[in-house]
Amino acid sequence: MTSIRPPTDHKPAQVVVIISNGPGELTTWVKPLVESLHNQLAMRPCEKFARISLRLVLVPCPNATGNEQKAAESWNKFETITSAKNFWNLIFNPKKYGFWPNQGVVVFLGGDQFWSVLLSARLKYKNITYAEWKARWPFWNDRIAAMSPQVKQLLPKKLKQRCVVVGDLMADLQKEAKNNNPLPKGKWIAILPGSKKAKLSVGIPFFLEVADHLLREVPFCNFIIPIAPTTSIKEIIYFSGLNNPISKQYNSKIKNIEQATGKLPWKKLITNQETKIYLIEEHPAHEFISQCDLALTTIGANTAELGALGTPMIVVVPTQHLHVMEAWDGLLGIIARLPILKWFLGLLIGLWRLRKRNYMAWPNISAKKMIVPERIGKINPIEIAIEAKGWLSSPKRLKGQKEDLRALRGEEGAITKMTEEIINLLEN
């Protein structure tokens, strides 16, 4: 039987191209915006013969894990996804990656803003950039969606009219994290070891040992690890084992993984000290993270995510594992790649932070003061366990940090406003 091809007028007339990079941006920015766009517009692939196609282009980024494409594919929201390794091929030969209509909009939602400008110029599409802190290529942006009025103030006077303040895209996370499934009573601690291999190789063995110590300090507390969409339980097991050299420096190991039993539908990680940690594989896990009394995390986009959810946290960077920090982002990664200076990493970070009053966790960066504790240096897991016990033993301190985090969030509705701006560019 001969297959019948749809007529040529079934080709999309317009394209919305999302530009993004790492796991944090995909989860907290891209996913909610994509869902909003599909709710407002008939778009492919959800509507097979719609006149608008929604596509994702991943861009080169040192913060990416390499699993972003697989995670995004699981949503079934994009007609095509172009991997980061094919970005330059797309620039040089767009036709190789499908039919591109004459009209479209490129939306920047993560990575280097230049990639968005470059792709929109190549495709001759309009460009809208979501700017958290600064619009770096304002003359090449048709529209700038700013997180705050401060972003607009930094623009040249003649370009301010291109900018609209939409607010914080993560401000809606708390609203979306409806507690339809309340956690059982007790103290709940979320462990976020990171999603990149370099962070997992440190975070898994370190935080497993913290959990073992903390359970002895605070009996009957409960732990969850939300499995990032760009990693897996298999990787968690790998980085806790002897194949990971860093794991050899810690006593805590994974004894086994148990299947879900009882009321909670999650697998359980059991350490060799009999500590139970629930593994949440559904994405996103905001509904459960937001109910936790405290989170233990490393630096990265997850600190912004926790802040948006109003979850108190302790941010931990154990700098004793310098040789794996070369793949980290920001100042840590830069210094760790320097053959001599990296051995003075702790001292350099201390001096840098004292002189510049800079911070590494997003809530602190945003507030320009210490909102959440940052523990950076040669840290022992038991130190973090004892500090966590102190926080858990002081509901007033936890409430205070939660209120500070909520005060940092912008008004809700940024996703809706961003959606409206994209639609306006498509229509005009």
Clarify whether residues 92 and 147 are in a common domain. Answer: yes
Measure CA 383 to chain center: 27
**Rounded to an integer, what distance in angstroms lies between the CA atom of residue 114 and that of residue 394?**
46
Q: Which domain holds residue 329?
A: 188-408
Summary mean pLDDT of the chain? 85
As given in the structure block, the two tokens for residue 188 are 């709940």
- CATH number of the domain residue 278 falls in: 3.40.50.2000
Q: What is the pLDDT of residue 171?
A: 79
Q: Is 1 inside any structural domain?
A: no
Of 131 and 334, the structure prediction assigns the larger pLDDT to 131
- Sheet (strand 374-377) strand order: 254-258, 267-271, 276-280, 222-226, 188-192, 294-297, 313-318, 374-377
Confidence of residue 366 (pLDDT cuts 50, 70, 90): confident
Q: What is the pLDDT of residue 242?
A: 87
Lowest-confidence segment of 40-54, 172-186, 284-298 by average pLDDT: 172-186
**Sign of the CA dihedral running 64, 329, 289, 238:** positive
Of 229 and 17, the structure prediction assigns the larger pLDDT to 17
Q: What is the pLDDT of residue 178?
A: 61
**Rounded to an integer, what distance in angstroms lies between the CA atom of residue 298 and that of residue 313?**
10
SS3 content of the chain, % helix, strand, coil (to 5): 45, 20, 35
Q: What is the pLDDT of residue 367?
A: 84
Strand partners, 297: 192, 315
Clarify whether residues 416 and 402 are in a common domain. Answer: no
Clarify whether residues 116 and 263 are in a common domain. Answer: no
Q: Is 183 inside any structural domain?
A: no
Confidence of residue 377 (pLDDT cuts 50, 70, 90): confident
Lowest-confidence segment of 17-21, 196-200, 265-269, 294-298 by average pLDDT: 196-200
Clarify whether residues 256 and 388 are in a common domain. Answer: yes
**Rounded to an integer, what distance in angstroms lies between the CA atom of residue 279 and that of residue 84?**
29
Q: Is 179 inside any structural domain?
A: no
Q: What is the pLDDT of residue 132?
A: 85
Of 113 and 344, the structure prediction assigns the larger pLDDT to 113
In 59-182, DSSP assigns E strands to: 80-82, 103-108, 126-131, 143-146, 163-165
Lowest-confidence segment of 90-104, 205-219, 346-360, 371-385 by average pLDDT: 346-360
Clarify whether residues 155 and 271 are in a common domain. Answer: no
Please give the biggest Cα pair distance in the chain: 74
Q: Is the pLDDT of residue 175 over 70?
A: no
Q: Is 181 inside any structural domain?
A: no
Question: DSSP letter at 183?
Answer: P
Lowest-confidence segment of 142-146, 159-163, 169-173, 318-322 by average pLDDT: 318-322
| Mean of pLDDT values over 67-74 | 85
Q: Is the pLDDT of residue 356 over 50?
A: no
Q: Is 147 inside any structural domain?
A: yes
| Mean of pLDDT values over 415-422 | 94
Q: Is 2 inside any structural domain?
A: no
- State the alpha helices, DSSP H only, in 196-254: 197-217, 233-240
Clarify whether residues 118 and 209 are in a common domain. Answer: no
Clarify whether residues 357 and 290 are in a common domain. Answer: yes
- Which residue shows structure tokens 């920047």? 108
Q: Is 178 inside any structural domain?
A: no
Q: Is 319 inside any structural domain?
A: yes
Lowest-confidence segment of 55-69, 117-131, 182-196, 397-411 by average pLDDT: 55-69
Clarify whether residues 139 and 228 are in a common domain. Answer: no
Clarify whether residues 252 and 371 are in a common domain. Answer: yes
Q: What is the pLDDT of residue 335?
A: 53
374 SS3 class: strand
Q: What is the pLDDT of residue 349?
A: 53
Clarify whether residues 56 and 79 are in a common domain. Answer: yes
Clarify whether residues 152 and 213 are in a common domain. Answer: no
Clarify whether residues 212 and 135 are in a common domain. Answer: no
- Tens of pLDDT along 244-262? 988 988 999 999 999 988 7
How many domains does the chain contain in total?
Answer: 2
Q: What is the pLDDT of residue 63?
A: 67
Q: Beta strand 276-280 with 267-271: parallel, antiparallel or unpaired?
A: antiparallel
Cβ proximity of 105 and 426 under 8 Å: yes
